[in-house]
Amino acid sequence: MPAPTRTPRDRWLDEGLRALAAGGPDAVRVEALAQALGVTKGGFYWHFSDRSALLVEMLDRWEHMMVDAVIERVESGGGNARLRLRRLFGLAATVDDQMGIELAVRDWGRRDAHVAERLRRVDNRRMAYMRGLFGELFADPADVEMRCLMVMSLFVGNHHIAAEHGRRTRSAVMKDTLRWLLS
């Protein structure tokens, strides 16, 4: 008799992140994840000791997707700092499917000190990376810091702004803003 097929760890993590984006950390429940995956919850325990272990690994995956993988992609294309920043801005504009996770982690961090610390680390890593790039283009450290903060604010805040821009699209305004940040 063949061994039973186990649901891969990645599927549990992906489903956990989807649940987090949809309903916050309270929506990440083993029974609900198992149901969404169409499996029994017993398979969960082959990969994770408990729900807390899953949550930590979900945060690890989020950090990798949103920092490590982004930096790897930006750097793999080579080029000068201006070109790498443009590539970074382009990648940031394409993470709409992951923005729900980002916003859920930020909200979760308001209520959980460990998540807040993780978020601070992630944001500090993002800022450090951008400081290096902007620092190659602009000599004034205060100017570099302002540009980095503006990019971070656009990345996070853009999804909370409901304002219209007259006849212009949000995408067009964002492109012009990012172009201005590089001038």
- DSSP notation for 22-47: HH-GGG--HHHHHHHHTS-GGGGGGT
pLDDT tens track for 87-102: 999 988 887 779 999 9
Share of the chain above pLDDT 90, in %: 84
List domains and CATH numbers for the chain: 59-181 (1.10.357)
Confidence of residue 3 (pLDDT cuts 50, 70, 90): very low
pTM: 0.91
CA-CA distance, 173 to 178, in Å (whole number)? 9
Q: Which of 20, 99, 96, 92 is nearest to 59 (CA)?
A: 20
pLDDT tens track for 32-68: 999 999 998 888 999 999 999 999 999 999 999 999 9
- DSSP notation for 104-150: HHHHHHTT-HHHHHHHHHHHHHHHHHHHHHHHHH-S-HHHHHHHHHH
Q: Are 105 and 27 in contact (CB under 8 A)?
A: no
